[in-house]
Structure 1
Amino acid sequence: MNKKLALLLSVFLLSALPAAAQTEPPAFSFVQQMLLGFSGREVAVGIRLDSAGDASQPVTAQLRDEQGQVLGQLSLFEGKGQKVLLHIKPGWTGAKYLSVWRNGQKLSSDLLLVCDNLASKELRRVDNGHQQLAITFSASFNDYYVLEFLDLLNQYQAKATFFLSAEFAFRNPDTVREVLSRGHQLGSHSFSHLDLTKEDNLKIHSEIVRSLDMLEKVSGTRPQVFKPPFSYYNERIRAISRALGCEAVKWSLDSMDWNPEYPAWRIAARTLKKAQAGDIVQFHFGAKTLEAMQTILPAWQEAGYELVTLDTMLSPGPYQVDEEGRAHFPKP
């Protein structure tokens, strides 16, 4: 009797082996790790069937987004690829995550699809109807005079936005924390201060993400605004920055303090003459800028300007940035 049971058990186990082997699912991959798409245009998503597993071929599957919406149908043989054309809808903004699904099972890693509107340029000024100016500073390495600037800003109840690189944060963590403790806003100025217009999409993404991570690690706050080195922009930098939760910022008024031909008096004269409500004004740390601001800040205060962070300037509500870089606040 025991021999019969053992024989039956062996037959049962052997018959179950083919069924177990058939559970190996297909495996898909994307040709690229990241794609950029712009409203009203099409983007081609390349997908490859790396392994059919135990599925019959051609293997059918679906391309879906992070919300489960089906964006395309796939039918592939092992080792072959297929392109799915996607029309980027106006409502698609920021980051979308695409993956391949079959029979309720996810069969690929995620593809990052970055969506943006080409007509929405980098932020240069804010039309919120208030008599406000946004002072911004950019720094990559050293914290020369930063504490003196902070004291001067306090003297005139002025707040500013500080765009700092990851290297600055690494070298000067106490200074970064002091900036925040004084009520100012922190922005990213990239990781390693490269001309990002010359870099590929993955490098741009890495430069911004790594800077955000470092600044958050040092300060406990993750920046929501980004300005690239040299203020050099293109549509790829704007799109990737926004997909990472950071508004892409430039300026409408450059103090020219970086120019050796501009001494303190000339910086002050230029800035006071050209400033208008809604301007985003660019400064850098340095002795002549500190001297110039001793003239600029009281003059702006006397003229009735409120000197605020970008976050405050954009606080009236949801906004749109137009083709000139102006932020508008559409009525509900």
Structure 2
Amino acid sequence: MKIINDILRKDSAKTFLLLFCFAIISVGVHFYKQDIITTSSTVGKKELPIYCVDTDKKQVALSFDAAWGDEDTIQILDILDKYKVKATFFMTGGWVEAYPDKVKEIAARGHDLGNHSENHKQMSKLSVADQTSEIMKVHEKVKTLTGVEMTLFRPPFGDYNNSLVTTTMTCKYYPIQWSVDSLDWKNYGASSIVKTVLNHKALCNGAIILMHNGAKYTKDALEQVLVGLQEQGYEIVPISQLIITEKYHMDTAGKQIAD
């Protein structure tokens, strides 16, 4: 500080130059920090997964969690083919091991392969090492089976904390939740699933819809859901096509917004 004061007293030109340099550095630091903040999942002190996407396109994504059962999987794939829809399937390690042919079939039909953890545990209760293991074990199984390097991760039960979101991104995955829950897992019947999805308050551009390939009435409801969404003008796309993959930030509701 004494050196600066001496310069300020001696030469007004030097004073101007010094102040100018300080101003440039300050502006640069401000924008650098801003860039870091707006390309992360951080909102305040919380790390958020992607619940939905801010987009002007009339698009929604349909996703299926695969953690139990495979009886209806081929029929679900056939219905999706009929309506030329690509979806995202989040699979556990146990499901991948039990039904490797179905994993290959999902990939062969052009759908997203997503990671749903190895053992379907409550991952917010795990250490970083165990979180990483839960993610990467499934990753390697699917890669070995299909050659696909998965990049989408959905935590079991939708349960997460700051640590899990950070771990997910460290593993080069996008953490994915949902904004429209079909409630198919409650087994209320096909008509209930259809009404829940098509009349959901969060059904809008960029919504991510949750279903389960192993739920009792999902297959029976799926065709009506697809028709209803398309009649409302929505294009149904896989999550990998819906989300923003480069610079983005999150709002407090978990909506992904491009920078």
Q: Do both share a fold (TM > 0.5)?
A: yes
Indicate which of 170, 177, 191 corresponds to 2:118.
Answer: 191
TM-score w.r.t. the length of structure 2 is 0.80
Query: What amino acid is aligned across from residue 239 of structure 1 in structure 2?
Result: T
Distance 1:92 1:174 in 2: 42
Distance 2:65 2:147 in 1: 20
Match of 1:266 in 2: 192
Indicate which of 322, 326, 331 corresponds to 2:251.
Answer: 322
Distance 2:52 2:199 in 1: 17
Query: What amino acid is aligned across from residue 241 of structure 1 in structure 2?
Result: T
Report the CA distance between 1:139 and its aligned residue: 1.1
Indicate which of 279, 282, 300 corresponds to 2:229.
Answer: 300
Match of 2:7 in 1: none
1:128-151 Cα distance to aligned partner (Å, 9 max, x none): 211011101001243221110001
Q: For residues 141 and 316 of structure 1, do their structure 2 counterparts lie closer, same or farther at Cα, with a shift above 3 Å needed?
A: closer
Report the CA distance between 1:287 and its aligned residue: 3.8
TM-score w.r.t. the length of structure 1 is 0.63
Matches within 5 A, 1:53-92: 91=36
Indicate which of 169, 173, 185 corresponds to 1:246.
Answer: 173
Q: Percent of counterpart pairs with the same letter?
A: 29
Matches within 5 A, 1:29-108: 91=36
Query: What amino acid is aligned across from residue 307 of structure 1 in structure 2?
Result: I
1:202-259 Cα distance to aligned partner (Å, 9 max, x none): 1111111111111111111011010111111111111100110111111001001111
- Residue 177 (1) aligns with residue 111 (2): no
Report the CA distance between 1:322 and its aligned residue: 2.8
Gaps in structure 1 of 5+ consecutive residues: 1-87, 95-114
- The structure richer in helix per residue is 2
Match of 1:13 in 2: none
- Residue 149 (1) aligns with residue 76 (2): yes
Number of aligned residue pairs: 222
Match of 2:24 in 1: none
Whose relative contact order is higher, 1 or 2, with alpha carbons under 8 Å and at least 6 apart? 2
Query: What amino acid is aligned across from residue 297 of structure 1 in structure 2?
Result: L
Distance 1:141 1:231 in 2: 16
Match of 2:208 in 1: 280
Larger of the two Rg values belongs to structure: 1
- The structure richer in strand per residue is 1
Report the CA distance between 1:116 and its aligned residue: 6.6
Q: For residues 316 and 130 of structure 1, do their structure 2 counterparts lie closer, same or farther at Cα, with a shift above 3 Å needed?
A: farther
Match of 1:225 in 2: 152
Query: What amino acid is aligned across from residue 196 of structure 2 in structure 1?
Result: R
Q: For residues 197 and 315 of structure 1, do their structure 2 counterparts lie closer, same or farther at Cα, with a shift above 3 Å needed?
A: closer
1:290-327 Cα distance to aligned partner (Å, 9 max, x none): 11112111111122110001111125853323332111
Query: What amino acid is aligned across from residue 257 of structure 2 in structure 1?
Result: H
> Contact between 2:198 and 2:229, CA under 8 Å: does it hold in 1?
yes
Distance 2:37 2:128 in 1: 19
